[in-house]
């Protein structure tokens, strides 16, 4: 097991002698947190200086990113340490407004790290786009004509985007099928493209547009649309962890009981769509946070993941928890994660650039696998809390702190008001406001 991402371990046998620099990280000041990131070589001094000056968009850049830009909207950027992935340690950049997401991810990652960490794989990484044709006079003949010219059509697609071919990618395969019902009939052409380090949306759309006229001439039909698909089933990323029961024990609840309850919770989600939806929402809490931080399209990832959760015909949980032969708890996740490390806002948003630096500038495939681990860890934290203490206990301190800020507490008042609220059986805005008034007296 490798302790630190860029730092050699001092070992005595298999025992790691170095103290975890991220122990009680959440209790440290901002300057202390940044110093640790610099000392552990996650960020350079220059990057630390940029953070102290706030990593964000300028008005000038923002005005070119979207139409009708009028101001900037900020979200917190934090890190979740303790992620050991394929024997390499990561701190995960996360952008989120929900208080408990980063805490939960960090705690789950710490537990999984004790068990040996995550293992991951992504066998291939391609994107698929489609051209839909309508009003073809002879669908069977159209399909045969397209199949006959498939190689030439792939060449045409690559001519439309030669730069990706120079980088070793490009269109690699073309297929076709007929879709029909009582009212409509379509000929659909699917183009598979190796997008290299880019997510590939613009690339796919450019290639597909180049195929429209040739396809119309081949089939006698008319284009309905030419567009990439976010159902990225040729970019599936998987993550796995295996946890001994002794690490799962919680108070009076044995590790075996926790293990069995986590497995039962997954089985329940497989049978109940109400639970499956919330089960998966919790997973996406973590996935969205790192996808946003790295400048990728979280809406595309959301759409693809939820579609994949339904690909069997019934909406299912995105994770699976089972018992190993030796009694350990085994968790797995497989999701379509078509993310990029170049293109889009990645090259122009300072926050996205910072996120990639924190992750040691991973390849697109490595990034997808890291994201899968975040989803699996996030799910472990949520389900474990649900089947032991209940979900609210872990949320209460963070909720109390958020409420303290919301009613106007500042500086030392925030911690004082938070502590006072946690002593109450329940709290709300009116109570927080009154306590703050009393504190100020």
pLDDT of residue 5: 41
Rounded mean pLDDT of 114-121?
97
pLDDT of residue 3: 38
pLDDT of residue 11: 35
Question: Which residue out of 28, 306, 323, 395 is catalytically annotated?
Answer: 395
Closest CA to 320 of 366, 270, 286: 270
The count of C-alpha atoms lying within 13 angstroms of the C-alpha of 348, restricted to the half-sphere facing its C-beta, is 12
pLDDT of residue 391: 61
Question: Which residue out of 28, 38, 98, 173 is catalytically annotated?
Answer: 98
End-to-end, the C-alpha distance of the chain in Å comes to 54
Query: Picking from 16-30, 69-83, 318-332, which range would have the lowest pLDDT averaged per residue?
Result: 16-30
* Known active-site residue 349: no
**How would residue 394 be classed by pLDDT, with cut points 50, 70 and 90?**
low
pLDDT of residue 239: 98
Q: Which helix (H) or strand (E) holds 375?
A: helix 364-387
* Known active-site residue 395: yes
Average pLDDT along the chain: 92
Q: CB of 92 within 8 A of CB of 105? A: yes
d(CA 355, CA 365): 16
The sheet with strand 319-323 has its strands ordered as: 119-121, 236-243, 329-336, 319-323
Whether this prediction's pTM lies above 0.85 is answered by yes
Q: CB of 341 within 8 A of CB of 296? A: no
Q: CB of 226 within 8 A of CB of 130? A: yes
pLDDT of residue 413: 87
Residue 156 has a CB neighbour count (10 Å cut-off) of 18
Q: Map tokens 């990618």 to a residue.
A: 169
Residue 41 has a CB neighbour count (10 Å cut-off) of 12
DSSP structure string for 405-437: HHTT--THHHHHHHHHHHTSSS--HHHHHHHHH
pLDDT of residue 393: 59
Tokens of 67: 């139409």
**How would residue 422 be classed by pLDDT, with cut points 50, 70 and 90?**
confident
* Known active-site residue 89: no
Dihedral of CA 57/59/61/66: which sign? positive
Query: Picking from 3-17, 281-295, 410-424, which range would have the lowest pLDDT averaged per residue?
Result: 3-17
The residues facing 228 across adjacent strands are 129
Question: Which residue out of 47, 130, 297, 328 is catalytically annotated?
Answer: 297
Q: CB of 102 within 8 A of CB of 79? A: yes
* Known active-site residue 306: no
**How would residue 347 be classed by pLDDT, with cut points 50, 70 and 90?**
confident
């Amino acid at each position: 097991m490798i302790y630190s991402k860029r730092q050699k371990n001092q070992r005595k046998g298999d025992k790691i002698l170095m103290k975890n620099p991220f122990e009680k990280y959440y209790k440290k000041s901002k300057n202390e947190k940044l110093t640790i990131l610099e000392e552990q070589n996650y960020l350079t001094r220059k990057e630390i200086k940029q953070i102290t000056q706030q990593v964000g968009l300028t008005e000038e850049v923002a005005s070119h990113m979207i139409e009708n830009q009028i101001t900037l909207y900020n979200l917190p950027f934090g890190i979740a340490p303790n992620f050991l992935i394929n024997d390499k340690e990561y701190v995960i950049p996360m952008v989120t407004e929900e208080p408990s997401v980063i805490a939960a991810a960090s705690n789950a990652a710490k537990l999984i790290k004790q068990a040996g960490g995550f293992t991951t794989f992504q066998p291939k990484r391609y994107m698929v786009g489609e051209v839909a044709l309508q009003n073809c006079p002879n669908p069977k003949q159209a399909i045969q004509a397209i199949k006959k010219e498939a190689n030439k059509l792939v060449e045409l697609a690559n001519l439309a985007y030669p730069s990706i071919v120079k980088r070793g990618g490009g269109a690699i395969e073309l297929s076709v099928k007929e879709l029909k019902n009582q009212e409509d009939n379509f000929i659909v052409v699917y183009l598979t493209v190796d997008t290299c380090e880019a997510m590939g949306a613009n690339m796919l759309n450019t290639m597909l547009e180049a195929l429209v006229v040739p396809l119309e001439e081949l089939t006698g039909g008319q284009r309905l649309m030419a567009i990439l698909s976010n159902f990225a089933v040729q970019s599936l990323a998987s993550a796995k962890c295996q946890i001994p029961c002794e690490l799962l024990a919680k108070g009076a609840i044995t590790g075996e009981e926790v293990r069995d309850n986590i497995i039962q919770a997954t089985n329940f989600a497989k049978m109940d769509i109400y639970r499956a939806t919330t089960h998966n929402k919790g997973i996406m809490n973590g996935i969205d946070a790192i996808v946003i931080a790295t400048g990728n399209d979280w809406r595309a990832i959301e759409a693809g993941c939820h579609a994949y959760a339904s690909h069997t015909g019934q909406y299912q949980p995105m994770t699976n928890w089972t018992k190993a032969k030796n009694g350990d708890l085994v968790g797995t996740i497989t999701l379509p994660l078509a993310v990029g490390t170049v293109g889009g806002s990645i090259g122009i948003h300072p926050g996205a650039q910072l996120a990639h630096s924190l992750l040691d500038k991973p390849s697109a495939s490595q990034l997808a696998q890291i994201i899968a681990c975040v989803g699996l860890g996030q799910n472990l934290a949520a389900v474990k809390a649900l089947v032991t203490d209940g979900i609210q206990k872990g949320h209460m301190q963070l909720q109390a702190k958020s409420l303290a800020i919301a009613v106007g507490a500042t500086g030392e008042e925030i911690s004082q008001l938070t502590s006072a609220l946690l002593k109450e059986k329940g709290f709300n805005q009116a109570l927080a406001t009154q306590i703050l008034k009393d504190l100020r007296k």
